[in-house]
Amino acid sequence: MSSPIPASVLAPPPVTSVTELLAAPKTHVTVRGLSKSFAGAPLYTGFHLDLPRGKIVSIFGPNGCGKSTLMNMIAGLVPPDAGEILFDGKSLKDTQIGYVFQNYRDALFPWITAWDNIAYPLKRQGMKPAAVKARVDELVALFEIRFDLRRYPYELSGGQMQTVCIMRSLATRPEVLFLDEPFSALDFEMTLFIRAKLQEAHMATGTTMVIVSHDLEDAVFLADRILLLTRRPTRIAEIVPFELPRPRKPEDTADPEFVRVKAHTLEVFRREVNA
């Protein structure tokens, strides 16, 4: 078993050659001195984190450790008590992000069609109708949509609604895409479909992605880095790299490297749960 990556920095293993140095991903999101308390109980105190550009990072840890809170602070949905968060040195207001909420049923506007839900952020940006249609058509092709986008959200299945949510979050070409439990309410067939489509979107765009998951297999399968957290007050327990080539197929869950990384993350998780 390889040595753990230092917990202070979310980055690949140390490079030893010019070629490796040039290939190493650069930091995209910088978190420094992040602190957050609830009802006087500290959750994060002086927390530091670097998220690499163009990688998928999953966040996993014990119940109540603040996985979603961490992601939501970075995404600007929950205000931190202290600390600084920068995107390529920019503030959040100068950064285009996308967000996929866990509860897709509440995230979509029920009074407009699925197509209009996808187009909504583009229209909000003032994009001309022809450009809006062209961008939605791109996403329809990427996700190989076979259901009728002229239907309203309540007429769609759960998996179809989640697909629409993901398409909408990607419509504006975000620099960073945040996903909160994107598979939690999906059946196995739709989980496989969304896994595949997220990978295709990532390979096509190089978008930095951050995923919160309560399922260990999901946390490992899509990730380039698995960020493992401790119990509260929360720190980084370990950052585990997973370098299996993409696109990853369902049968790759039997690959020796997947089995090894999953077993190691489980070991770290159990250690922290029992700490």
Mean pLDDT of 199-218: 92
Give the pLDDT band (50/70/90) at residue 91. Answer: very high
Mean pLDDT of 141-160: 92
Q: Where are the beta strands (DSSP E) in the chain?
A: 27-38, 41-52, 56-60, 82-87, 97-100, 176-180, 208-212, 225-229, 236-241
Kind and range of the H or E run holding 195: helix 188-205
Closest residue by Cα to residue 169 from 237, 230, 251, 107? 107
Tokens for 12, please give them: 């690949």
Instruction: Check pLDDT > 60 for residue 110.
Output: yes
Give the pLDDT of residue 131: 97
Instruction: Check pLDDT > 80 for residue 32.
Output: yes
Mean pLDDT of 139-162: 92
Give the pLDDT band (50/70/90) at residue 100. Answer: very high
The owner of tokens 């239907």 is 151
Tell which wins on pLDDT, 184 or 224: 224
pTM metric for this prediction: 0.87
Lowest mean pLDDT among 1-10, 120-129, 194-203, 221-230: 1-10
Mean pLDDT of 56-83: 95
Give the pLDDT band (50/70/90) at residue 259. Answer: very high
The owner of tokens 């995107």 is 87
The overall average pLDDT reported for the chain is 89
Tell which wins on pLDDT, 184 or 118: 118
Closest residue by Cα to residue 209 from 51, 31, 5? 51
User: How far apart are alpha carbons 161 and 133 in whole angstroms?
Assistant: 19
CB 225 within 8 A of CB 70: no
Give the pLDDT of residue 159: 85
Per cent of the chain over pLDDT 70 is: 91
Give the pLDDT band (50/70/90) at residue 24. Answer: low
Per cent of the chain over pLDDT 90 is: 72
Instruction: Check pLDDT > 70 for residue 19.
Output: no
Instruction: Check pLDDT > 70 for residue 21.
Output: no
Give the pLDDT of residue 23: 46
Instruction: Check pLDDT > 80 for residue 128.
Output: yes
